[in-house]
Amino acid sequence: MPLYKTIIPNSQTTVKIWKITESFDELFAMVKLKTACLERVLNMKSEQHQRGFLSVRCLLESFGYEDADLFYDANGKPHLSDGKQISITHSFGFSAVIISDLIVGIDIEKQRAKISVIAHKFIDYEYHYLNENAPDFIKKLTIVWCVKESLYKLFATPGLSFKQHCLVIPMSDNTHETIAWIDYETKKYRYRAHFLEFEGFTCAYVIN
């Protein structure tokens, strides 16, 4: 089944993850796109990106929505026509959508060693507890990235920096959640972040 996993963190929130096994043509036949999105997907140069885009629309339909129900604001944040909160993501062979009555953010990333090359661009405080020689360094670094990307999507504020404004508290080895903060201008915002790992991927989501 392409619908890989469904998670219900609370009574107001549902996360759905799609494993992208279908071809472009198969996914294209499964969804109805508004004109602007049809033009957008047909003009994408990467078939992988096309399939990710279409799989997100398949997830929307699994929630009972259509592509026409989704729109974006000036900051690029997605919204639903009925006022529900939404965040979307896709990476290689997986995509995910979270829908809630609360403000949310979600991200999926493939666990790859190359993330260590850009670590200095998105971590600061986290250097205090991440050990680059540890066997789980890449996995933990990917969790930090996914949590910060989720915070970024949730906060949707121009100028927010992963490194300067977002921090992730150390995560325990036997849990799948941690605390994250946004320290922006004169205010601090505390969030509980959840994460899971599967088939070499990490998914994190944050609920306000």
Q: Are residues 111 and 133 in the same domain?
A: yes
Q: Are residues 9 and 64 in the same domain?
A: yes
- Work out the percent of the chain whose per-residue pLDDT is above 90: 94
With cut-offs at 50, 70 and 90, classify the pLDDT of residue 173: confident
Strands 201-207 and 13-19: unpaired
- Give the Å distances, CA to CA, from 142 to 51, 139, 189, 200: 23, 5, 22, 11
Q: Are residues 18 and 81 in the same domain?
A: yes
Domain boundary among 53, 85, 101: 101
Q: Are residues 113 and 141 in the same domain?
A: yes
- Residue 42: which residues within 8 A CB-CB, separation 6 or more? none
Overall domain count for the chain: 2
Q: Are residues 133 and 49 in the same domain?
A: no
With cut-offs at 50, 70 and 90, classify the pLDDT of residue 1: low
Q: Are residues 49 and 125 in the same domain?
A: no
pLDDT, averaged across the chain: 95
Instruction: Say what the pLDDT of residue 2 is.
Output: 84
Q: Are residues 63 and 48 in the same domain?
A: yes
With cut-offs at 50, 70 and 90, classify the pLDDT of residue 175: confident
Q: Are residues 41 and 16 in the same domain?
A: yes
Long-range Cβ contacts of 63-71 (<8 Å, 24+ apart): 63/14, 63/16, 63/97, 63/99, 66/32, 67/31, 67/32, 67/33, 67/34, 67/37, 68/32, 68/34
Domain boundary among 61, 78, 101: 101
Provide the domain limits for residue 50: 3-101
Q: Are residues 40 and 60 in the same domain?
A: yes
Q: Are residues 83 and 8 in the same domain?
A: yes
d(CA 86, CA 70): 9
Q: Are residues 78 and 38 in the same domain?
A: yes
- Work out the percent of the chain whose per-residue pLDDT is above 70: 100
- Mind listing the pLDDT tens digit for each residue in 77-118? 999 999 999 999 999 999 999 999 999 999 999 999 999 999
Whichever domain contains 70, its CATH number is: 3.90.470.20
With cut-offs at 50, 70 and 90, classify the pLDDT of residue 164: very high
Task: Give mean pLDDT, residues 5-13.
Answer: 96
Could you write out the three-class secondary structure of 96-154? EEEEECCCEEEEEEECCHHHHHHHHHHCCHHHHCCCCCCCCHHHHHHHHHHHHHHHHHH
d(CA 49, CA 91): 9
Task: Output the CA angle 161-167-173, nearest 5 degrees.
Answer: 140
Domain boundary among 101, 125, 159: 101
16 pLDDT more than 90: yes
Q: Are residues 53 and 75 in the same domain?
A: yes
- Mind listing the pLDDT tens digit for each residue in 26-63? 999 999 999 999 999 999 999 999 999 999 999 999 99
Long-range Cβ contacts of 11-14 (<8 Å, 24+ apart): 12/100, 12/101, 12/102, 13/98, 13/99, 13/100, 13/101, 13/102, 13/104, 13/207, 14/63, 14/98, 14/99, 14/100
Is-above-0.85 flag for pTM?
yes
> How many CA atoms, within 13 angstroms, populate the side-chain half-sphere of residue 125?
15
129 pLDDT more than 70: yes
